[in-house]
A and B are shown apart, each in its own frame.
Chain A
Amino acid sequence: MSTVTDSIFLPATAARFDNLVTLYPVKRSALVPMLLYAQDEIGYVSDAVVAEIAQRLDLLELDVRGVLSYYSMLRTEPAGKFNVQVCTNISCMIVGGYDILDHCKQRLGIGHKGVTPDGQFSLEEVECIGACCWAPAMQVNYDFHDNLTPAKVDAILDDYAAGRGEDVK
Chain B
Amino acid sequence: MPDVTLTVDGQKITAPAGTLLIDACKTAGIQIPAFCYYPGLSLQAACRMCVVRIDKMPKLQTACTTPIAEGMVVSSESPEIAQARKATLQLLLGNHPLDCPVCDAGGQCELQDMTFKYGAAHSFYQEPKNHREEQQWSPTVYFDRPRCILCYRCVRMCGEGMDVYALGIQNRGSSAVIAPNIPASQSEDGLQHLDCEECGMCIDVCPVGALTSDTYRYKTRPWEMNHVATVCTHCGDGCKTSLGVRQTIDGSEIVRGDNRDKSGINGDFLCNKGRYGFDFANSPERITQPMLKQADGSHKAVSWDEALRFTGKKLREIREARGGGSIGVVGGNRLTNEEAYLLQKFARSVLGTNNIDHHRTADYVTFAAALSGHRDRFASQHDNEKAPAVLLIGGDPTNEAPLTAWNLRSNVRLNGARLYVANHAQIKLRRQAKAFLEIAPFGYGAVAAYLAGDDAAAQSAAHDGENLGRFREALRGEGSLLILIGSELRGNDLRRLVEFGLALPNTNFALLSDYVNAHGAADMGLLPDMLPGYQPLGGTHDYSSEYGERFSNTPGRDMVGIFDAAQTGDLAALYLVNANPVARYSVDPASLSNTFVVVHDMFLTETVRLADVILPSANLYEKSGSVTNSYGDLQLVKKASDRAGVRTDLELLVRVADAMGADVRKLVPFGKKPQANGIRADLGQTRGAQSGEADRHAVWLTSNNLEIKLSPFDPFAVLDEIQRLVPGYDLLRLQLMSGNDQHLAPAAPADLVRIEPTRRDLVLPAEDTLFTSGTLGRYSPKLVELADKYTHEPVGIPAD
Contact = CB atoms under 8 A, between A and B. Distances in A.
Interface of A: 26-28, 47, 58-63, 65-66, 69-70, 76
A104 to B, nearest CB: 25
A61 B165 CA distance: 10
B166 A62 contact: yes
Interface stretch (B76-84, B167-175, B197-205, B462-470): B167-175
A26 B166 CA distance: 22
Contacts of A58: 797, 799-800
10 contacts: A28-B799, A47-B185, A58-B799, A59-B800, A60-B799, A63-B165, A65-B170, A66-B168, A66-B179, A70-B172
Nearest to B180: A62
A10 to B, nearest CB: 24
B168 A65 contact: yes
Q: Which of B166, B185, B799 has the most CB of A within 10 A?
A: B799
A69 B171 CA distance: 5
Interface string B162-191: 000111111110000001110101100000
Contacts of B169: 66
A70 B800 contact: no
Contacts of A70: 170-172
Interface string B758-798: 00000000000000000000000000000000000001110
A69 B173 CA distance: 11
Given A60-B165, A70-B171, A70-B172, A65 B183 contact: yes
Interface string B138-169: 00000000000000000000000000011111
Interface in B83-97: none
Contacts of A76: 185
Given A60-B181, A70-B172, 8 more contacts: A28-B799, A60-B168, A61-B183, A63-B168, A65-B168, A66-B168, A66-B179, A76-B185
B388 to A, nearest CB: 28
B695 to A, nearest CB: 55
A60 B797 contact: yes
Nearest to A54: B797
A59 B169 CA distance: 14
A61 B181 contact: yes
A108 B166 CA distance: 41
Contacts of B180: 62
A67 to B, nearest CB: 9
A104 B165 CA distance: 43
A62 B194 CA distance: 11
A66 B171 CA distance: 7
Contacts of B185: 47, 76
A78 B701 CA distance: 77
What are the 8 tightest A-B residue pairs by CB atom distance, in nearest-first order?
A: A69-B170, A62-B168, A66-B168, A62-B181, A70-B172, A69-B171, A26-B800, A66-B170
A62 B172 contact: no
Interface residues of B, number: 19
A62 B165 contact: yes
B477 to A, nearest CB: 29
Contacts of A26: 800
Q: Which of A27, A60, A62, A69 has the most CB of B within 10 A?
A: A62
A27 B800 CA distance: 8
A70 B799 CA distance: 18
Contacts of B186: 47
Contacts of A60: 165, 168, 181, 795-797, 799
Contacts of B181: 60-62
A62 B181 CA distance: 5
A153 B581 CA distance: 82
A65 B179 contact: yes
A69 B179 CA distance: 11
Contacts of A66: 168-170, 179
B137 to A, nearest CB: 13
A141 B513 CA distance: 63
Contacts of B183: 47, 61, 65
Interface in B350-389: none
B615 to A, nearest CB: 51
A69 B800 CA distance: 20
Contacts of B796: 60
A48 B796 CA distance: 19
A62 B166 CA distance: 8
A73 B99 CA distance: 36
Nearest to A29: B800
A26 B171 CA distance: 23
Interface string B452-477: 00000000000000000000000000
Contacts of A62: 165-168, 179-181
Interface in B566-583: none
A91 to B, nearest CB: 23
B159 to A, nearest CB: 9
Nearest to A69: B170
Contacts of B168: 60, 62-63, 65-66
B800 A28 contact: yes
A7 B166 CA distance: 26
A62 B185 CA distance: 13
Contacts of B171: 69-70
A60 B166 CA distance: 9
Contacts of A69: 170-172, 179
Contacts of A63: 165, 168, 799
Contacts of B797: 58-60
Contacts of A59: 797, 799-800
A61 B183 CA distance: 9
A27 B797 CA distance: 15
Nearest to A66: B168
A30 to B, nearest CB: 12
Contacts of B795: 60
B134 to A, nearest CB: 21
